[in-house]
Amino acid sequence: MVIEFLIKLVQGIGIGALALATGLLFGGIARKIMARIQRRYGPPFTQNFIDLFKLFSKSSVSHGWAFDLGLVAGFAPMLAALMFLPIGSFTLLPSDSSLIMIIYLMMMAYLGMAMGVLASGNPNSAIGMSRALMLMAGYEVPFAAVIFSVYLFSKTGYLTQIVAMQSGGFMNWNMVKMPLGFLAVEIALQGMLGEKPFDQAIAPAEIASGPMVELGGKYLGFGMIQHSVGLFLETGIVVDLFLGGAPNFWIFIAKQFVLYFIVVLVDAILPRLRVHEATSFFWKLPLFLGILQALIVIIQGGVINV
Amino acid sequence: MSEWNEIVDYFRGRSMWMLHYCTGCGAIELPPTMTSRWDMERFGITPMATPRQADILLITGYLAIKTLKRVVYTYEQMQAPKWVLGFGSCTINGGIYWDSYNVIERLDKYIPVDIYIAGCMPRPEAILDAFVKLKEMVQKGEAKGYEKYVKNYEWYKANQDRVLKRTEPVLKRIEKVTKIG
């Protein structure tokens, strides 16, 4: 019993480290891609690892216990959500409600971060956080509609089973079976990752990087870790829901990277929207696609007879 | 322990985040340095939005006494391994403002400057040259301006106070004014 627990603990730490390394690598490659689009040479793709190392070697200043606690409360739910995510063929904690669990924990992470950065008392971080939460109210609605249709389609909330139902080739993927839902999630993912045109929360030239304004040194390092793990988690859940999961870890991160690559390309060409424009956009096109998909699933699946 | 410090210094030199305090005409040299023509991001140098996040404070151009106050605040908000670059001849000897009544002449009397970039204006090549030089100094462990500031704080503080007291609002000193009158 104790041995089993210890093995799970070590595996959990391993998954966390792997997610962090993948997220940092993706971020570094994205910087390189962005540089090449702008006809620059760009930093080395390991730059994010160097930045993280440097941040943890700096001194840092705290803004009270709520500030410290908020960073932990922002990071811990992300790690917890990773434990329920099927990564390749491996799931640390199989649970028959893992989908709901992950959605819930992802939202908790944002609320934890909000508590932390608002404790700093800087008006810019308050503006940034209010924008982040308003944007969340935007993209969570179409995302929830799509989750609802996946739930109805697969008749289960067990992610491993959803992945298993998509096995056996490209035509079985939910992306092909529910194209409208996939499109809605792809747009919502842009908002979740905070890339342009939905980067209102961390607009650097406008509100001095918003929530991160008072984070320095090790605290900013924690923010970077949180962003990287969040990147892994949010692309990972879309891979599991729509791209048929993966038989092993390498194919899993390859599929994640394809998703992230699209996000980066869109980020490179679009300007920033205003926050109310972004939210109302999420409540129009992606929500319409999501609800349409849910209706199609309901009619096809015979949940109600028309 | 010294090996560990060498590793830390090596990576600090490879990743330096910059806060640019643009007061004068020098700001115009920075967009070409950042964007595709000269691209400073290949050295791991990125502009940052706030002093908390930054490692380098780049002062471009002249500092009036009132702006000096803000620069000192900014410098003291930055986190410990931090470096200052003085850009242009205004930070070295006042430049064309050498005889102005409200502009400071030498920046390193008030905050410790690690590297000066001479010229009026220094070209983007000169800025990149300074960044590479700073990187070498950081990696050798020579750029210790922030430790100098802590050690000689009384001297810097006295210098700052000597000029900053001239920024006090005149109306608060009304009895002094009336005495003179």
How does pLDDT run across A33-79, given as a tens digit for each residue?
Answer: 999 998 888 899 899 999 999 999 888 888 888 888 888 888 888 88
In this predicted structure, what is the pLDDT of residue A241?
86
Candidates A40, A43, A212; nearest CB to B53: A212
Is B53's CB within 8 Å of A220's CB? yes
Residue B179: count other Cβ atoms within 10 Å of its Cβ.
8
- Give the whole-number percent of chain A exceeding pLDDT 90: 15
Cβ contacts of B135 within 8 Å, gap of 6 or more:
B13, B14, B16, B43
Average pLDDT (A118-132) is 86
* Per-residue model confidence as pLDDT tens digits over A185-221: 989 999 888 888 888 888 877 888 878 888 888 888 8
Is B53's CB within 8 Å of A38's CB? no
Q: What are phi and psi of A34, to 5 degrees?
A: -60, -40
* Per-residue model confidence as pLDDT tens digits over A75-98: 888 888 888 888 877 777 777 778
User: E strands of B5-162, at which residues?
Assistant: 16-22, 45-47, 56-60, 83-87, 115-117
Average pLDDT (A150-170) is 80
Stretch among A51-55, A114-118, B83-87 having the lowest mean pLDDT: A114-118
**DSSP secondary structure, A92-146, as one string:** SS--TTHHHHHHHHHHHHHHHHHHHHHTT--HHHHHHHHHHHHHHHHHHHHHHHH
Closest C-alpha to A268, from A175, A183, A190, A151? A190
In this predicted structure, what is the pLDDT of residue A304?
55
Residue A137: count other Cβ atoms within 10 Å of its Cβ.
11
Is B11's CB within 8 Å of A213's CB? no
Residue B135: count other Cβ atoms within 10 Å of its Cβ.
20
Residue A183: count other Cβ atoms within 10 Å of its Cβ.
18
Average pLDDT (A131-150) is 88
Kindly tell me the burial class for residue A221, based on how many C-beta atoms sit within 10 Å of its own C-beta (0-12, 13-18, 19 or more): buried
Candidates B11, B41, B51; nearest CB to A54: B11
pLDDT band at A306 (very low <50, low <70, confident <90, very high): very low
- Smallest CA–CA distance, residue A300 to chain B, in Å, is 51
- For the entire predicted model, the pTM comes to 0.86
ipTM exceeds 0.90: no
Q: What are phi and psi of A75, to 5 degrees?
A: -90, -40
Closest C-alpha to B64, from B31, B27, B24? B24
Q: How far apart are CA A247 and CA A254, in angstroms?
A: 12
| Smallest CA–CA distance from B53 into chain A, residue | A216
* Contact by Cβ (8 Å): B127, B86: no
Is B36's CB within 8 Å of A51's CB? no
Average pLDDT (A240-248) is 83
- Chain A interface mutation, best of B53, B76, B128, B135, highest count of A Cβ atoms under 10 Å: B53
Cβ contacts of A289 within 8 Å, gap of 6 or more:
A142, A180, A181, A183, A184
